[in-house]
Amino acid sequence: MELTGRALRMTVLVDDTDTWHHRPLYTEIVHRAHAAGLAGASVFRGVEGFGASSIVHTTRLLSMADDLPTAVVIVDEEDRIRAFLSQLDELAIEGLVTLEEVQVVHYVGREAVSR
């Protein structure tokens, strides 16, 4: 897949303990993005944060180490990202979903580099 120029970055912020059918929600999002043929998805685990509940969760306090922020970041062409939004609606996500315009300047897979 070739991806250059204007694109959208979708960021889905959830808790690391959120689940969908007994598996991590972030895993479900990544697998759905893969099945949809999107350019790629990455998951980043936070060490501290708060959301709509205003409760700060942190790794610094053992008792509050649950529900840490987790970000799933997906970049692809605008129409493909917008089409994928319906997949997220099915998941009834408690969290935050954002879209930002980005400029892709480099996107090469390992197979292309080793040739």
pLDDT in tens, 11-48: 999 998 999 999 999 999 999 999 999 999 999 998 88
Tell me the CATH number for domain 5-105.
3.30.70.120
Residue pair 68/15 in contact by the 8 Å Cβ criterion: yes
Cα–Cα distance measured from residue 77 to residue 3, given in angstroms and rounded to the nearest whole number: 8
pTM (2 d.p.)? 0.85
